[in-house]
Amino acid sequence: MTTTQTGARTAGRIGDNAQRPDGTLKVTGEFAYASDLWHDDMVWGVTLRSPHPHARIRRIDVAEALAVPGVSAVLTADDVPGENAYGLEHADQPVLAADVVRYEGEPVALVAADHPETARRAAARIRVDYEVLPALTDPRRALDDDAPEVHPGGNLVRHLRVRRGDPAPTAPVVVSLDFEVGMQDQAFLGPESGLAVPAEDGGVDLYVATQWLHVDQRQVCLALGMPPGKVRLTLAGVGGAFGGREDLSVHVHACLLALRTGRPVKMSYGREESFHGHVHRHPATMTYEFGAERDGTLVYARADVLLDGGAYASSTAAVVGNAGLLGLGPYRIPSVAVDAYGVFTHNPPCGAMRGFGCVQAAFAHEALMDELAAAVGVSPVEIRQRNGMREGDRTTTGQVIDSAAPVAELLERVAAMPLPPPLETSDLRNLPGAVGNTTHGEGVRRGVGYAVTYKNVGFSEGFDDYSTARVRLQVVAGEAVATVHTAAAEVGQGLVTVQQQIARTELGVERVVVVPADTTVGSAGSTSASRQTYVTGGAVKAACEAVRTAVLQRAAVALGGPVAGLALDGDKVVGAGGEVLAGLADLLGDDAVEETVEWRHRPTHAVDPETGQGDAHVQFAFSAHRAVVDVDVELGLVKVVALDTAQDVGRALNPDAVVGQIQGGSAQGMGLALMEEVVVADGHVRNPSFTDYLLPTILDMPPMRVEVLEYADPHAPYGVRGVGEPPTISSGPAVAAAVRVACGRPLRRVPIRPEHVTGT
């Protein structure tokens, strides 16, 4: 047999900056987002929502709405065929409110019509007779004996206790503070949308933007009273998520209308409805205390964290878990006492958002760390390095950190980055207020602030956190093609690219097709908790390995030799020296080799209910930020001049995409520090629009230096470590710290407003 050496390895493997397979469609406008879907004969669905935070529904009269020409259906709670209940962890949320509404914006009725405006006008003609009830809108009152009950059984969603070390510790230096974090919105740009198509078998096909198809399917089935085989979900193009698509939005509503009308139904929220139509980041009220030696070494920490869960449970219990288990930051602390509470109120429901409970806590522990630094006379960097976790340390729950924990190095790296040049006042665009011409430099002070964080990767506390991948290898028109099928939601982060890179790496082929995510393959788990590259990446890797093994076994039989030493490269089977032994086309012919693998990371465990001790997490991810700000201390205007970061990602499968995640995550953290808040007054959202809810623009964002460390986690596929969330956690506290330095005020609430900076 003649042998030839194969050429250079396939481009676009792991570690390469492979380009997105959907990039071209996205720049030409052809990529089909959920709100772009269209079907012959389709009608439009709209939602009627409660104007009250708490009210009893006495009566609903739909007659006038039904009489509007063009209207094909009007539905209320009576029309929900299955259980009128859904929820991520507890099914406590009605599909349509039956007797009581518990927050402003709760869905009450649905209308389908041939034009969205017709549907909206008809919805306005539904007469709902409400008896307005007293609303519980202050979470600090939720656990009082005389507080109105949001649900029977009381207003406590979860209380997590963490106790470790000395129960009555003392220390020579004690610092404490109270801190408040406002409600942040995910503000993904693609509004909640979906298309439900009634099927001939009496079931329904739903095309929808989401983060986890299978958990949606379970809830839709419950509400429709249908088995999973009749409710098929396919991922439609997702315009960002950030946690806000973990809970259902249009899903059941569109299916109900489609099944009633017998026609495809499209639903797509406008921005105002989107603010009411998804959960937000929990507002937090926190009290923290650190005790330390005179050199700043921590002796103990106490924290009391109260999270406003709003009207329904959503993922509040898990957010409380993170705030309680991780909420003292990446520090070595011998004695800890943490109490984290999530409560029901009649405010908008809160749930998942990037950083998930760690974001709120980080503002408090990082502000307090700066207090401690000042109290003992060391720098913010030094105090954090002195107390920072290292590999082998135990967390506040007693879990040993069994891979890299480079807190000190991350700080060293951000501190060593060049500082931006001093303020140049000749160009107004450099100044806080910019071309608003509010200052020419007088009253402008510069501040520098630091923060660090750690975040759990993947689902914790004993959750069975797995993903499923189906991989097929076949030869099409003489070329080897790998097909990867998972139910994992690509929401913009680049998972489709990484799946291709993994398949190219494991199978040696160039052409990899990632087929649309749907429920005809097993669950991939949620696109959240920075977990998909790790868990679905792990599943794709394992499925590719199974395919490769099957192909090489076939090759060994055909070649009459051992499997050992055989490998796949290009469209060939090669030997140990890279010599070509067989072509895949000859070996496989028309056969396809297909394997499906369900893959799990190492198990995690529930924590002790009394002490919160236990190995709750599978992996931790660390990041540090340094922010530089110019603050007009007379007007309270802030310009962020630099926002630099270092993060350990274990191994960067796609370095450019990793940097993109870090930069985007940093921007969201900065937004919470300075401008982003869903303002809720007496249970009413006051700013449900992009006019009044401020998001960072390209003028607000500074240049961002990013240093990526790659300390491989030996327990994770390829050594990867979750990337998406840490930057959102450490960036905001660094910005807040920098503003504190510039203006000299304590600033115990975010987002920081001009009047906080000026003290007026």
Partner 1 sequence: MRVTTTVNGTERTADDVWPGESLLYLLRERLGLPGAKNACEQGECGSCTVYLDGEPVCACLVAAGQAIGREVTTVEGLADGQSLHPVQEAFVEAGAVQCGFCTPGLVVAAHDLLARVPEPSDPEIREALAGNLCRCTGYEKILDAVRLAARRQATR
Give the interface with partner 1 as residue ranges (CB under 8 A): 17, 19-20, 22-24, 26-33, 35-36, 38, 115, 117, 187-191, 238-242, 268, 270-271, 427, 429, 491-494, 656-657, 659-660, 663-668, 689-691, 695-699, 701, 703-704
Least spacing, CB of residue 524 vs partner 1, in Å: 18
Q: Which is nearer to partner 1, 491 or 555 (CB)?
A: 491
Q: How far is the CB of 22 from partner 1 (least distance, A)?
A: 7
Comparing CB distances to partner 1, the nearer of 435 and 563 is 435
- Measured from the CB atom, is 475 or 643 closer to partner 1? 643
Residue 271 or 600: the one with the smaller Cβ distance to partner 1 is 271
Burial class (CB in 10 A: 0-12, 13-18, 19+), 69: exposed
**Residue 331 DSSP one-character state:** B
Specify the residue, 102 or 626, whose C-beta has the smaller distance to partner 1.
626
Which residue number, 119 or 337, has a Cβ lying nearer to partner 1?
Answer: 119
The residue (of 138 and 700) whose beta carbon lies closer to partner 1 is 700
Q: How far is the CB of 712 from partner 1 (least distance, A)?
A: 23
CB of 26 to partner 1, least distance (A): 3
Q: How far is the CB of 188 from partner 1 (least distance, A)?
A: 6
Give the HSE-up count for residue 606: Cα atoms under 13 Å, Cβ half-sphere.
5
Burial of 170 (0-12, 13-18, 19+ CB in 10 A): exposed
CB of 72 to partner 1, least distance (A): 17
Smaller CB separation from partner 1, 437 or 691: 691
Residue whose CB is less far from partner 1, 588 or 667: 667
Rounded-to-integer distance, Cα 549 and Cα 725, Å: 35
Asked whether 423 and 630 are in contact (CB, 8 A), the reply is yes
User: CA nearest 676: which of 667, 104, 81?
Assistant: 667
C-alpha distances (whole Å) from 674 to each of 184, 579, 629, 631, 668 are 11, 60, 11, 12, 10
* Shortest reach from residue 495's CB to partner 1, in Å: 11
Q: Which is nearer to partner 1, 271 or 749 (CB)?
A: 271
Minimal distance, residue 651 CB to partner 1, in Å: 18
3-state secondary structure of 557: helix
Based on C-alpha coordinates, what's the Rg of the chain?
27
Query: Residue 270 or residue 441: which is nearer to partner 1 going by CB?
Result: 270
Cβ nearer to partner 1, comparing 281 with 346: 281
Which one, 239 or 309, has the nearer CB to partner 1?
A: 239
CB atoms within 10 A of CB 342: 32
Closest approach, Cβ 706 to partner 1, in A, equals 8
- In the bound complex, what is the minimum distance in angstroms from residue 658's beta carbon to partner 1? 10
**Residue closer to partner 1, measured from CB, 29 or 422:** 29
Residue 331 to residue 384: CA distance in whole angstroms: 8
Angle between helices 532-559 and 495-507 (to 10 degrees): 20
| Cα distance between residue 704 and residue 420, in whole Å | 11
Q: Which residues are CB-neighbours of 485 under 8 A, at least 6 positions away?
A: 469, 470, 471, 472, 514, 515, 521
Minimum CB separation from partner 1 for residue 211, in Å? 12
CA distance 659 to 676: 23
Q: CA-CA distance, 42 to 487, in Å (whole number)?
A: 26
Nearer to partner 1, 423 or 550 (CB): 423
DSSP string, 25-55: HHHHT-S-BGGG---TT-EEEEEEE-SSSSE
**Smallest separation (angstroms) from partner 1 to the CB of 29:** 2
Q: How far is the CB of 328 from partner 1 (least distance, A)?
A: 28
Instruction: Write the CB contacts of 716 (distance below 8 Å, at least 6 apart in sequence).
Output: 403, 534, 538, 601, 619, 650
Characterize 107-140 residue by residue with b for buried, 16 or more Cβ atoms within 10 angstroms of its Cβ, and e for exposed. bbbbbbbeebebbbbbbebbebebeebebbbebe
Give least dist CB 436 to partner 1, A: 13
User: Residues 6 or more apart from 533 whose CB is under 8 A from it?
Assistant: 495, 498, 653, 720, 722, 723
Count of CB atoms situated within 10 Å of the CB of 73? 25
d(CA 71, CA 46): 11
* C-alpha closest to that of 613 among 307, 323, 336: 336
Minimum CB–partner distance for residue 643 and partner 1 (Å)? 8
Cα 241 to Cα 668: distance, rounded to the nearest angstrom: 12
C-alpha 465/C-alpha 616 separation (Å) is 12
DSSP state of 315: T
